[in-house]
Structure 1
């Protein structure tokens, strides 16, 4: 029995050692989180989840892993990836998210009229197209830099109530930086969408590669244009309070396989 126990400890130790830094950083398989799924293959596989392509990397030149965005609406339990046409299962855990109640003076941001609703629908389609971008480039880094050095204010996933009416959950992370603070790219990428959007205000989308997309909202100024290649820590704009914002801050979204996930995971600040 002692020999068996010793062999089991060695096996567990080797398994833990096999996990690289990226796996340990990103693997938080909760609703609105990220699952890192090891793939038993000698080549770069094609992976899909919910019919969307998935980010795949070779971790430490030792093994291929899929980095999967999990929707907030996903049910806890077993889910499956399609890996080169075969199913690979992983587990999703439940996570509770708290509420946030906000009072807005401009009631159009709660119940927009017909003209604003048409604009919202048009802009929503543009954003969904941007989130669906899947370029072959490898992300420059998966341990992200902070886009601004500021306190984390409103976390991801909050159930939000505007003037007492429930709306979509908070799909990003708010950083309480002062007006005019430079906003920097947390990883290198290509600018794929910019504009002044109804809810988001001045907004920039950056494609980091393989379906990993960042969105930066409520900017006072945009310093880039569509098609620009921006380096890691390159300035893309300045913090503001445009759109549906009650004060200056940066709202930062991270999307994987067209699913919004908790940005705190990518900066090592995830809280279970």
Structure 2
């Protein structure tokens, strides 16, 4: 009996997260981050949802199923839960401080657009939101991404932004300080699901890596892909520019999970707590 009690105690002491490579890389459970949930080793992949959206599920080689959950930037600290085959599985969201950024724009329409531009912005936002909401059955080729460009990181994810002194949405992606014309390459294999030239984002490409894991690249000077095109890891997407609302050439990259924009730095091993 005592040996049974010891075994049960050891089982209860096991960590809630799998301690494999994917967890070590991606498990950053903060607002705007990612939670990795261990789901056991059933024969079939469990179905997972979070806040009503399907969640990416992968099987780490030689290990159990994992749910890769994107956490919205406005999520309060404390307990959250996902549904795994209809049953709640809890996880804890920690805290993270995001700094402020103040930007001056000469084009005031990019701060307070007129009625015609607002109609355009609403139409374009709806189109992009539909792309973010897609959930394809394809399995991502890799979860440790390559950097889309070879250059230093500049403006980080989550920064509170003030344009001409007026607060607007936080920075939903990660910027790289690189010059105009720098090649932008796919951080992982995927399918081009949206190509456009938008009021705020300029020339833009969305790439679906599988199961709600989506990259968005914007402010490009040139687009080198077509809608529906399949990309290999490292495939050319386009060239860095300063189209849309940009103060100069740079590469802006968004990563979305379960229709939630999360910190791309997590996927390239550059997350800062």
What TM-score, normalized to structure 2?
Answer: 0.94
In structure 2, the partner of 1:4 is none
Q: 1:164 to 1:182 in 2, by over 3 A?
A: same
- Structure 2, unmatched stretches of 5+, are 1-6
Q: Is the 8 A contact 2:23 2:36 kept in 1?
A: yes
User: Over the residues paired in the alignment, what is the CA RMSD in angstroms?
Assistant: 2.0
Deviations 1:146-188 (A, max 9, x none): 0001110000000000000000000000001110000000000
Q: Name the CA distance, whole Å, in 2 between partners of 1:168 and 1:38.
A: 33
Q: Is the 8 A contact 2:16 2:37 kept in 1?
A: no
Does 2:94 correspond to 1:93? yes
Does 2:216 correspond to 1:243? no
Runs of 4+ deviating beyond 6 Å? 10-14
Q: Alpha-carbon deviation of 1:12?
A: 11
Q: Name the CA distance, whole Å, in 2 between partners of 1:218 and 1:245.
A: 7
Q: Alpha-carbon deviation of 1:32?
A: 0.2
Q: Name the CA distance, whole Å, in 2 between partners of 1:24 and 1:54.
A: 19
Deviations 1:192-228 (A, max 9, x none): 0011000000000000000000000100000011100
- Structure 1, unmatched stretches of 5+, are 1-6
Count residues with an aligned counterpart: 266
Does 2:53 correspond to 1:55? no
Summarize the alignment of residues 156-235 of structure 1 with structure 2, pairs less than 5 Å apart.
156-235=157-236
Q: Alpha-carbon deviation of 1:135?
A: 0.3
Q: Alpha-carbon deviation of 1:40?
A: 2.7
Deviations 1:46-86 (A, max 9, x none): 00000000000011231001000000011111111111111
Q: 1:118 to 1:18 in 2, by over 3 A?
A: closer
Q: 1:237 to 1:104 in 2, by over 3 A?
A: same
What TM-score, normalized to structure 1?
Answer: 0.94
Q: Is the 8 A contact 1:20 1:60 kept in 2?
A: no
